[in-house]
Amino acid sequence: MKIDLAGQAALLKLTEVDLELNQIKAQLQALLDSPELKTLQSDLSSSAEELLVARTEFENLQTSVRRSEEDIRLVTERLVRDRERLNATSSPKDAIGIQGEIESLGRRKDELESIELELLEQLEDSQKKLELATVKRAELQAQMTDLQERLTAEIDAVKARGRKATADRLILVDKIPGEVLKKYENLAAKQVAVGKIVDRACNACHMVISSSALDQLSKLPEDEIGSCPECQAIIVR
CA 196, CA 211: separation in Å to the nearest integer?
15
The answer to whether 24 touches 161, Cβ cutoff 8 Å, is yes
The secondary structure element, H or E, covering residue 24 is helix 5-32
The total number of residues written for the chain in this structure: 237
Per-residue pLDDT at 37: 95
Q: Residues in the chain with pLDDT < 50?
A: none
103-154 residue pLDDT tens: 999 999 999 999 999 999 999 999 999 999 999 999 999 999 999 999 999 9
Tell me which amino acid residue 11 is.
L
Q: Note the pLDDT of residue 234.
A: 93
Q: What is residue 1's predicted lDDT score, i.e. its pLDDT?
A: 79
Residue 237 confidence (pLDDT): 79
Q: Do residues 68 and 112 touch, judged by C-beta distance below 8 A? A: yes
pLDDT, residue 134, reads: 97
Domains of the chain and any CATH numbers: 1-31+177-237 (1.10.287.1490), 34-160 (1.10.287.1490)
Task: Please give the Cα distance from 15 to 9 (Å, whole number).
Answer: 10
